[in-house]
Structure 1
Amino acid sequence: MTESTAPTDPRSPSGPSSGSTASAKEKMQASLARRYAAEKRFQAYGIGAIILALAMLVTLFVTIIGSGYTAFVQYTVRLDVTLYPQDIDPQGTRDPEVLARADYQGAINDAMYSLFPDASGRSARRDVRALVSPGANFVIRDMVLDDPTLVGQRISVYVPLATEFDQILKGNIDPAVTMRTIREASTGIPWSLPPGERLISENQGRYLQQLVRQGEVEGSFNRWFFTNGDSRQPELAGIWGAAVGSFFTLLVTLALSFPIGVAAAVYLEEFAPKNRWTDVIEVNINNLAAVPSIVFGLLGLAVFLQFFGMPRSAPVVGGLVLTLMTLPTIIIASRAALKSVPPSIREAALGVGASKLQTIFHHVLPLAMPGMLTGTIIGMAQALGETAPLLMIGMVAFVVDIPATPMDPSTVLPVQIFLWSDSPERGFTERTSAAIMCLLGFLILMNAAAVLLRKRFERKW
């Protein structure tokens, strides 16, 4: 007789499904482990990307600051200059035009010769004159124009050293001498290069060493960098002319782009019918925001300069070009700010009897204005850093005078940086980095203002 086998309880641990249950659990745990590992890898990639970006940013700032911080210091030499009336103002009229044309270089040369009485001969005197910046006469000229009573007096004045000696004392260049040799050596300078390859002559090195030992040379805050316009001499070149040109350019840009951009955004968002034409306009506005900036420069060259005959290299033309470039950004930001206002605000205003125009200007615009101003500030910051469109309209010209009106020839900070970066002198290299630091400072302030403005007036709904 055959024995019967009892059926196995599927709930029993030794049942046939226990193996499949354990296998499914293991698979689930393995899947979870893989997903957790993938999540950790993704977090690691994100942290690595942030660290890499910060490292690049730190490298950028360290490079710029390391190359440009010396531009804020200028080495000068103290001279006792006698302003003889027969040389400065023979007629005694104190006419500003006569004082501006006077021979101040001769007075500077006499003061330099008195410091080195042993420098005899044409070559030695030429080496003495080369110690001082060729533009030092403008420093004394400005002093006399500000105070004509100085004529006939003996004055003590600090004038800038020539760029070669200024850079040697700063330790930026070392063709045959070092800063330590100049400052501390009491004997002759150990020249390591042949005379034809030296930046300065042996006599000039000895004269500079003598001035340093006598305490006639000192390094002080470089006020000329912030008060002068451009110059062929690095030690006298400054950013004030470019800063004023940037101010006038941005003033024209703001005066045109903000009202036009806000008006266009209000019309498109609140009044324009939704049809094919408005769709085409919206698409073109979005596309214009991505157009390369140099295209706007070509447009300004063809329209404002060639067709309308406006002055070349003027801030008013630069402002018009940058207005065209920033309008799409301001319109898009303004429309987004208008969309962020809840519809209940409009419905409530209309419900109490306000017209649509009153609803827009009395209720919607005040609530959307923080977002509009934020977009405008960001657009202006973008305009401040633009170079390509302004190069096309001639703002790359060498301009020494400080512009007084938006119609005067001028340049802007980015273009000034471009001009200096193309100069081989080490003095212009440090001024390029210093101007970049100033420009970055302005951009950071403008972006910080946009953030603070948004935080201050933003409404949460």
Structure 2
Amino acid sequence: MTDTNKTSLTRESLPGLNRRYRAERRFHLVGKMAVAFSLAFLTFLIGSIVYQGIGAFFQTEVRLEVPQEMIAEHGDDGFTLLRQSMLHNLPDAKGRSARREAYKMAGEGSDIELLSAIADQQTQAAVVTVWIPVSDDIDMAYKSDFAPDMLGSFSDRQKGWLDTWVADDRLRMSFNTGFLVNGDSRDPERAGIGGALMGSIFTLVVCLVLSFVIGILAAIYLEEFAPKNKLTAFLEVNINNLATVPSIIFGLLGLAVFLNTFGLPRSSALVGGMVLSLMTLPTIIIASRVALQSVPPSIREAALGLGATHIQAVFHHVLPLALPGMLTGTILGMARALGETAPLLMIGMVAFIADPPSSFMDPTSALPVQVYLWADSPERAFAEKTSGAIIVLLLFLFVMNLTAIILRKKLEKKW
């Protein structure tokens, strides 16, 4: 006869149960605190970068009234036309020092902007109204609402002109398209990330083509076809070790092999992509092998049982199922390559490049290197542009990681 009088599992019947419950609550609390701390730190980091760099996407412009006779007299000479226009709009700029201070109110390259604005209007009015960029000092002061620490470099006369411009509503903020399309420049007003952005795209294209093809084929061979002997074991160990090698070592390898031995163009996107592909290959190979291992053995066995050859079973059945994991590993490897600076410095991509590249062989820079260069510049406007470039780089990385997640969700198979 079975005894039905069983002791219920309660806190009173098990003396250690309360202690285990308290330990579990403490663990949950510590975990929540760790997540909250991580989110708070990430929010602070991104918020500070956005706060410092959002101004790089906007520029301050001043409204000038340019008489038609002045345009007719100096229409082809933008430099002289800009100076005469500044003096016309600042009638109390008398004397050599006052004129020199008036000229400094306009930004570098404003003469080109002035001629372009006049040509776009195509008007025969007696006075043509145009907007031109101001100097980087005025731009930073206007964005800070003329904070006292931003006005230290201005003379009393220039401060008076700024007060007049503000009172007459002659200053405005506009989207700075030049920041996204211009190349690098010594002048903060004209500096942009266009060249570095194109260089990063060219470099990543080369890296993707080499890393994806070589990495996927190497992973397939090692996992599906290579014999299990000491040689393959040695290769696997070294591939795992290469994934942890500092990135600057790959830069030294690229300098010694691609530049000094093969004589490829220095600072080119081709060499940069080849160096980054060396760095990302171990990561892609490891991720691809894991993806192949995740495919159930029954898929291979079923294909072989129906008469398929080994290579047909791998490429027709196993590879399509492992491809989502391979693509995810490849995109994550490319995201790591996008943020690398050290290997690119070793092959000369730290050089000053003013013009965006037009081919894979042209000298170029990259977004991380551009951030490195601007961070070392003494002008305050470059600090703002540095944070702006970091924002673009983070957006680029976010898009690549989001693409990896979407591809994995759409292509992965549930077993």
Same fold (TM over 0.5): yes
Residue 133 of structure 1, aligned match among 89, 102, 107: 107
**Equivalent in the alignment of 2:64:** 79
* 2:291 is equivalent to residue 337 of structure 1: yes
Residue 331 of structure 2 is aligned to residue 373 of structure 1: no
1:63 matched residue in structure 2: 48
What residue number does 1:22 align with?
none
The Cα shift of 1:157 comes to: 3.2
Deviation at 1:142, TM superposition (A): 6.1
Matched, 1:170 2:124: no
The equivalent residue for 1:158 is 131
| Paired amino acid for 1:383 | A
Match of 1:227 among 175, 181, 185: 181
| 1:18-167 to 2 correspondences below 5 Å | 29-81=14-66, 103-140=77-114, 156-167=129-140
Q: Which moved more, 1:392-401 or 1:245-254?
A: 392-401
**What aligned pairs does 1:235-254 form with structure 2 within 5 A after superposition?**
235-254=189-208
Matches within 5 A, 1:206-217: 206-217=160-171
SS of equivalent residue, structure 2 residue 107? coil
Aligned to 2:275: 321
State the shift of 1:85 in Å: 6.9
8 A contact 2:61–2:171 mirrored in 1: yes
Aligned to 2:5: none
Deviations 1:19-73 (A, max 9, x none): xxxxxx9997442222222222222211111111111111101111111112222
Max radius of gyration: which structure?
A: 1
C-alpha RMSD over aligned residues: 2.5
Matched residue type, 1:42: F
Whole-Å separation in 2 of the counterparts to 1:286 and 1:244: 32
Q: How does 1:279-428 map to 2 (within 5 A)?
A: 279-428=233-382
TM-score w.r.t. length of structure 2: 0.91
Instruction: Indicate conservation of the 8 Å contact 1:172/1:426, yes or no.
Output: no
Moved more, 42-51 or 244-253: 42-51
Percent identity for Structure 1 against Structure 2:
54
TM-score by length of 1: 0.82
The amino acid across from 1:228 in the alignment is N
Q: Which amino acid aligns with 1:130?
A: K
8 Å Cα contact 1:420/1:432 also seen in 2: yes
1-structure distance, mates of 2:193, 2:112: 17
Aligned-pair CA distance for 1:235: 2.2
Query: What amino acid is aligned across from residue 83 of structure 2 in structure 1?
Result: N
Task: Say if 1:433 and 1:177 are closer, same or farther in 2 by CA, change over 3 A.
Answer: closer
- Count of residues paired in the alignment: 403
Deviation of 1:424 after TM superposition, in Å, equals 2.2
In 2, the alpha carbon distance for the partners of 1:28 and 1:54 equals: 41
The 1-side partners of 2:399 and 2:208 are apart by 17
Match of 2:4 in 1: none
Whole-angstrom distance in 2 between the partners of 1:225 and 1:323: 29
| Structure 2 unaligned regions, length at least 5 | 1-9
The whole-number CA distance in structure 2 between the counterparts of 1:236 and 1:304 is: 34
Per-residue Cα deviation, 1:271-310 (whole angstroms, up to 9, x for no partner): 1000000000000001111111111111111111111111
2:220 partner amino acid: V
Unpaired stretches in structure 1, ≥5 consecutive residues: 1-24, 90-102, 179-197
**Aligned-partner SS, 2:147:** coil
